[in-house]
Structure 1
Amino acid sequence: MPVPDIAWAYPLLLKTHVSLVVGSVGLFALRGIGVLWRHAWPMRPKWRRLSVVIDSALLLAGASLWWLLQLNPIHQTWLGAKLVLLLVYIALGTMALKRARTARARALFLLAALACVAFMASVALARHPLGWWAP
């Protein structure tokens, strides 16, 4: 059975994925700053649900790109590195928004999470597990 030509979907999925990354990280950064300033809004259900919706759409777009491009995180080591960094980013973000006990610790976790996501972007752009440090 012939495979349908769905190459047209790649630019759409890529733009969607990148837009969702910007939205997700932007909302996370705003919420993190709000938490540091001791505002209540960042932890309100509306904003938390919005994060979940954006992140779920981001995951769906990323998985669709994997499927479309037939990528395997074991064979494409840059993708495997990006997935490991995603888990680190989630853990750091959780600490920044709600688990860290002091404002100083929350600020450090926020900065670390943002540095982690910046490195993830460099890995994706370089398509190399060392990202901006690739030879």
Structure 2
Amino acid sequence: MIEFYPHIKQFHIFLALLSGSIFALRGAFVLTGARWPMMLPVKWLSYAVDTALLTAALMLLTILPWTVFGNGWLLMKVALIVVYVVLGVLAMRSNRTRRARIVCYALALLTFGMIYGIARAHHPLGALLSLLG
């Protein structure tokens, strides 16, 4: 299975960027009052991409040695993914004030950026590592 690792990793990266882009677009349009981002076909596309992303992530986890959890970057990434999902849900819910939804949307995008930086740097500080070091 290790021979498929580079392909699965590239697919995972593609899906992560696609998922973040879909969220950014949907969120921006929802916050401007558009209704189409909440329609079922658009939501299903988002769910399909996120399901494939999770599947690729789990495949990578089965390939990698368990020592990868020893340095903390992957655990930080997973914890921030939970934060990103919660903020994303809060940003898309219409029962919140517009200001609260904008704040949640901005924080979700910031969290996505942190996740991306951690994944690229393979370090819990992510992009901050280059600023501090």
TM-score norm. by structure 2 comes to 0.90
> Quick check: 1:100–1:106 contact (8 Å CA) kept in 2?
no
**8 Å contact kept, 1:66–1:72:** no
Distance 1:9 1:92 in 2: 33
Equivalent-residue separation in structure 2 for 1:75 and 1:99 (angstroms): 40
Equivalent pairs counted in the alignment come to 130
Task: Give the drift of 1:75.
Answer: 2.1
Within 2, Cα distance between the matches of 1:52 and 1:73? Answer: 28
Number of the residue aligned with 2:16: 21
Which residue number corresponds to residue 59 of structure 2? 64
- The aligned counterpart of 1:124 is 119
Q: Tell me, which stretches of 5 or more residues in structure 2 are unaligned?
A: none
Q: Aligned pair in 2 of structure 1 residues 7, 86: CA closer, same or farther (>3 Å)?
A: same
1: CA distance, partners of 2:30 / 2:96: 12
CA–CA distance in structure 2, aligned partners of residues 126 and 27 of structure 1: 24
Cα distance change on mapping 1:108 and 1:24 into 2, 3 Å = same
> Could you tell me how far 1:74 is from its partner in structure 2?
4.2
The answer (yes or no) to whether the contact 1:72–1:79 under 8 Å persists in 2 is no
Shift, 1:8, TM fit: 2.6
Equivalent of 1:105 in 100, 105, 109? 100
Give the corresponding residue for 2:88. Answer: 93
* Separation (CA, whole Å) in 1 of partners of 2:100 and 2:26: 15
Q: Which has the higher helix share?
A: 2
Residue 73 of structure 2 aligns to which amino acid in structure 1?
W
Aligned 8 A contact 1:21 1:58 in 2: yes
RMSD value over aligned CA atoms?
A: 1.6
Matched with 1:31 is 26
TM-score by length of 1: 0.89
Q: Find the aligned partners of 2:25 and 2:121 in 1 and give their Cα distance.
A: 27
CA contact (8 A) 1:10 1:68 kept: yes
